[in-house]
Amino acid sequence: MRVRILKEECENGKLVLLLKVGIELNYIHKHELGELERQILDFILDSDEVTQRELSRVFGRAKACRAVKNLENMGLIQRERKGKTYIIKVV
């Protein structure tokens, strides 16, 4: 894990820090993710960004939706609405 201080301020006698935390994807990839989530994360990493519709075609609609929500809750991916689908990128 890597931590960088992006900004530091003093407000009302309190130190406020804006941190950027980098987590090694290999660690999460091996220990925290299920098999389907690993496959979907690899698929997104290979493509740089994909639509949720593409993931649904490859992995199945319900499975892809569930795995994408889990990955988003872990903070590994970001979904951005575009028309009737989402664009998915690794954060």
Query: Which residue did the predictor score with more confidence, 69 or 27?
Result: 69
CATH code assigned at 15: 1.10.10.10
- Quick one: what percent of the chain has pLDDT higher than 90? 35
State the residue range of the domain holding 19. 2-90
Count of domains in the chain?
Answer: 1
What is the value of pTM for the model shown?
0.64
The maximal CA–CA distance of the chain, rounded, in angstroms, is: 54
pLDDT digits (tens, 9 = 90+) for 16-59: 888 877 666 655 555 578 889 989 988 998 888 999 999 999 99
Q: For the purposes of burial, counting CB atoms within 10 Å of the CB of 83, is it exposed (0-12), middle (13-18) or buried (19 or more)?
A: exposed
Under the banding of pLDDT at 50, 70 and 90, the label for residue 1 is low
R_g over Cα of the chain: 16
